[in-house]
């Protein structure tokens, strides 16, 4: 009980110091003031009735940090130096949030249980990719990827993006996956963001763990 109270006090002190983070324009008077406002639960909506104040948020899945840039026009892209100021303030506030949670033991980096979940979710995705890679369902002629690429051989995911003569353009891994689906497998291209494409990419990449990235390599 006592320990909890101490942690709460620590967290309160942390968030208090956070309030002092405020970046303001030095000489250029047309620049807005960018300041840290505080934190809210990610589930809560941002207040909408703050006239002339544009809010920005970054959520860690539980808590969001909120900063304000006074005088910038909502809905319009900001000029680069102002956008950089907003981005840097947002990043600092987010990193401070993570640090304060860590110090208050509210967010141990990854508990063994979390790690298990991460691993099993990832393995599920890779397993789905493995199944697709070894099944003729992506095509129409009974051929599957593994027949030419056993265990993902010669897929070279670490060399992407790179120019591919077959496609006459700088290609991503998914472009070559689709090229093989359409050609040797005589199937229909997968949507770039489909679960199947994501799973195939995950599986192919998993076969090359530890290989240095060498994009553009031929």
Number of residues that bind ligand HEC (CB under 6 A): 19
Residue 125's nearest CA partner among 59, 20, 22, 198 is 198
Rounded CA separation 125/202 (Å)? 7
Residue closer to ligand HEC (CB basis): 3 or 209: 209
Give residue for tokens 């553009």.
216
Is residue 38 within 8 A of residue 19, CB to CB? The reply is: yes
Rounded CA separation 13/167 (Å)? 58
Rounded CA separation 88/23 (Å)? 9
Stretch that binds ligand HEC, among 16-24, 26-34, 97-105, 176-184 (CB under 6 A): 176-184
State which of residues 10, 184, 198, 208 lies at the interface with ligand HEC (CB under 6 A): 184
State which of residues 35, 106, 134, 149 lies at the interface with ligand HEC (CB under 6 A): 149
Stretch that binds ligand HEC, among 83-91, 98-106, 107-115, 144-152 (CB under 6 A): 144-152
Stretch that binds ligand HEC, among 7-15, 41-49, 88-96, 150-158 (CB under 6 A): 150-158
State which of residues 18, 34, 200, 205 lies at the interface with ligand HEC (CB under 6 A): 200
Is residue 161 within 8 A of residue 208, CB to CB? The reply is: no
Q: Rule CB under 6 A: is residue 185 a binding residue for ligand HEC?
A: yes
Residue closer to ligand HEC (CB basis): 68 or 204: 204
Rounded CA separation 25/50 (Å)? 21
Q: Rule CB under 6 A: is residue 136 a binding residue for ligand HEC?
A: no
Q: Rule CB under 6 A: is residue 176 a binding residue for ligand HEC?
A: yes
State which of residues 113, 154, 193, 210 lies at the interface with ligand HEC (CB under 6 A): 154
Rounded CA separation 112/29 (Å)? 51
- β-strands 34-41, 53-59 pairing: unpaired
Rounded CA separation 42/57 (Å)? 9
Residue ranges binding ligand HEC (CB under 6 A): 138, 143, 145, 147-149, 154-156, 159, 173, 176-177, 180-181, 184-185, 200, 204
């Amino acid at each position: 009980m006592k320990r909890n109270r101490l942690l709460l006090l620590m967290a309160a002190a942390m968030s208090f110091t956070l309030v002092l983070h405020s970046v303001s324009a030095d000489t250029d008077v047309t620049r807005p003031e960018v300041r840290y406002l505080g934190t809210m639960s990610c589930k809560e909506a941002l207040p909408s009735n703050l006239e002339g104040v544009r809010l920005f948020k970054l959520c860690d899945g539980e808590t969001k940090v909120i900063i304000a840039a006074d005088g910038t026009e909502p809905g319009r892209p900001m000029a680069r130096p102002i956008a950089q100021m907003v981005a840097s303030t947002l990043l600092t506030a987010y990193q401070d949030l993570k640090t304060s949670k860590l110090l208050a033991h509210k967010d141990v980096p990854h508990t063994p249980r979390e790690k298990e979940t991460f691993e099993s979710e990832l393995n599920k995705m890779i397993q789905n990719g493995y199944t697709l890679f070894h099944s003729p369902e992506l095509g129409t002629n009974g051929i599957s990827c593994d027949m030419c690429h056993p265990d993902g051989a010669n897929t070279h995911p670490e060399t992407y993006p790179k120019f591919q003569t077959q496609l006459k353009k700088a290609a991503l891994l998914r472009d070559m996956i689709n090229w093989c689906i359409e050609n040797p497998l005589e199937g229909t291209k997968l949507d770039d963001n489909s679960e199947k494409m994501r799973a195939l990419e995950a599986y192919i990449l998993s076969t090359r763990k530890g290989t240095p990235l060498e994009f553009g390599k031929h």
